[in-house]
Structure 1
Amino acid sequence: MIHSGYSRSSTLELLKFSDDLPSLPDRFVKIQKVVQDPNSDASDLASVIRSDQATTAMILKFANSPAYNPTHTPVGELSAAIARIGLRETVHIATAMSLMYGMILPTGMANIRCFWGHAFAVAMVCEKMAHAVDPDQQRCSHERAFMTGLLHDIGRAALGMRVDFTYFERETGHLHQDALIQAEEEIYGVNHAEAGMQLLRLWLFPDDIFTAVGEHHRPDSTHFLGSICYQANLFCNTHLSDRIPFDAVHDAVQQAIIEHPFDLSVFAD
């Protein structure tokens, strides 16, 4: 048993204390408003993205990568990059970037990139798994699956920002799966899945998303999104490095899926 100054009750008190609750980044909120507005278009999205140089540069980098530019015809304008990548993929990249640069985690930039790179990979796999299992979106929208994957580890951010500023410098910053859950529960009395569920509930996210985040380490989850997120997280931890550069995540996920096709039998009713 790891002894620390934390208990389950003290950790939960810190997590639910909302006077200085971490807030969603402003750019994340703006992107979601554009996505949810039926009258918005690519130009509205571009206007939000242009306000951030790092996101703009990343969109251009994706658009000029071999995956999207097989003819080696470079583009230098954001509008052309969005047209080449597609609106959906652009939203995904911009949303992930808004979290990576908008949430101030108490750790070095290398750890932050790894953290959000993993989240982006799990989000991509969640969406692809949901499409494979539920192509008609009768059980969940594929966009919901992507968002669940992107936010599945948000409880780690909550623990690092609200409970223990040394969270990412401890062993917890480098563990995965059962080892991570065990270490968190020994140190804090609470694991990051539960912490993430609580934070997303306070942020007024839909029930199915925060429930899935709360169950994403449960192999026996009967919640569809929770099961998808568990399998996607396991897939990424098994088949992908946890130090993939953000701009290489897309290609790495595609290659991993080719080499290790999904076992859809785990989703059989």
Structure 2
Amino acid sequence: MNESGFDRQSTLELLAFSDDLPSLPDRFVKIQQIAQDPDSSADDLAEVIRSDQATSAMILKFANSPAYNPTQTPIGELSKAIARLGSRETVHIATAISLMYGMILPTGMANIRAFWGHAFAVALVCEWIAREADPAEQHCSHERAFMTGLLHDVGRAALGMRVDFSYFERDVGHLRGESLIQAEEVFYGMNHAEAGQRLLQLWLFPDDLSEAVAQHHNPDASPFLARVCFAANTYVNEYLPDRAPFETIHDRVTEAMEASPPDFSSILNQ
């Protein structure tokens, strides 16, 4: 055991302690059920979103943003906002918000917004890369790519919620890339990518998604989804500013990709 008081075995034991396992937010589960139900409608989606004031307000903010409202015609009804955004985009936004407000991370709201804002940005870029590199969905579904990006750092949440409540306040919690991986392995005996895989396995997520999360820091990973997520995460870290307001993430991602599209050639060459 190192001077931090953690080692690999103790970290694994804390992550697997099922009596106190972090759970997926109810709203996340309901939104995914609606998204995967071919018989569901926009009204079903609106009903779930309407039950939460924060989600409803954010959906309206997105619908009235320049990206979705070029004519500057404001709307104030949730049903019209969903119609303007489209069901797919609404599901994406609502899913991200359900995690941001449903998983109580042991840190300030500014850090929580930054954490999930980054995840949302990576998810959007993941989906874009998957559509460009794999238009026929031979390697992965585009929705699976989005979800991989959204959950790629969930291991950091697991470490902060189950292992070390000071995770996000420590220096290690503010690192990125290989520096973060190395610091976590020294401090906890494992990194957040592996922690994320184990949490998703406990949540019974598909193997390809949990494996992609496990390898999202490896540019040479075998799984296509992992390489997509690596490219998206690298792109977001380079082109998007830290701590951008959540409601501006979509616009900022769109502007960045129009100015400098992500290079996904390495994904196709493996």
Which residue matches 2:18?
18
- The amino acid of 2:199's aligned partner reads L
In the aligned structure 1, how far is the partner of 2:102 from the partner of 2:214?
Answer: 23
CA contact (8 A) 2:231 2:264 kept: no
Whether the 8 Å contact between 2:105 and 2:112 is mirrored in structure 1 is yes
- Per-residue CA deviation, residues 22-42 of structure 1 (Å, 9 max, x unaligned), is 000000000011111111010
- Tell me the secondary structure at the aligned position of residue 18 of structure 2: coil
CA-CA distance at 1:51 after TM superposition: 0.5
Q: Distance in 1 between matches of 2:106 and 2:123?
A: 23
What is the alpha-carbon distance in structure 2 between the residues aligned to residue 189 and residue 44 of structure 1?
Answer: 44
Post-superposition, which runs of at least 4 consecutive aligned residues in structure 1 deviate over 6 A? none
CA distance in 2, matches of 1:76, 1:258: 29
Map of 1:144 onto structure 2: 144
Q: 1:115, 1:162 → 2: CA distance?
A: 17
CA shift at 1:101, angstroms? 0.2
* SS state at 1:184 partner: helix
> C-alpha distance in 2, partners of 1:209/1:45?
24
Q: Distance in 1 between matches of 2:264 and 2:122?
A: 16
1:72-91 correspondence to structure 2 within 5 Å: 72-91=72-91
Please give the per-residue CA displacement for 1:96-140, whole angstroms capped at 9, x wherever unaligned: 000000000000000000000000000000000000100111111
Segments of 5+ residues of structure 1 without an aligned counterpart are none
- Number of aligned pairs? 269
Equivalent in the alignment of 1:28: 28
**What is the match of residue 56 of structure 1?**
56
194-203 vs 12-21, which moves further: 12-21
| Matching residue of 1:263 | 263
Unaligned runs of 5+ in 2: none
CA RMSD of aligned residues (A): 1.1
| Structure 2 match to 1:189 | 189
Q: Which residue of 2 aligns with 1:43?
A: 43
- Output the CA distance in 1 between the equivalents of 2:261 and 2:63: 26
CA distance in 2, matches of 1:79, 1:252: 25
- Once the two structures are TM-superposed, the CA of residue 264 in structure 1 deviates from its matched residue by 2.5
Q: Separation in 1 of the partners of 2:164 and 2:68?
A: 41
When normalised by structure 1's length, the TM-score is: 0.98
Tell me which residue corresponds to 2:236. 236
Distance in 2, Cα, partners of 1:184 & 1:93:
30
Q: Aligned equivalents of 2:72 and 2:248: distance in 1?
A: 18
Matched residues in 1 for 2:226 and 2:73: separation?
Answer: 41
Q: Distance in 2 between matches of 1:110 and 1:265?
A: 35
Residue type of the partner of 2:237? N
Task: Quote the residue 2:9 is aligned against.
Answer: 9
User: 1:42, 1:194 → 2: CA distance?
Assistant: 36
TM-score, reference length from structure 2? 0.98
Q: Which residue is 1:70 aligned to?
A: 70
Return the alpha-carbon distance in structure 2 between the equivalents of residues 52 and 172 of structure 1: 33
* Structure 2 residue identity aligned to 1:143: E
Give the Cα separation in 2 of the matches to 1:19 and 1:208. Answer: 26
Residue identity in the other structure for 2:30: K
Structure 2: how far apart are the matches of 1:124 and 1:171?
28
Task: Report what 1:163 is aligned to.
Answer: 163
Letter in 1 for 2:211: T
Q: Which amino acid is 1:254 matched to?
A: T
Give the Å deviation of 1:242.
2.0
* Separation (CA, whole Å) in 1 of partners of 2:144 and 2:111: 26
Partner of 1:92: 92
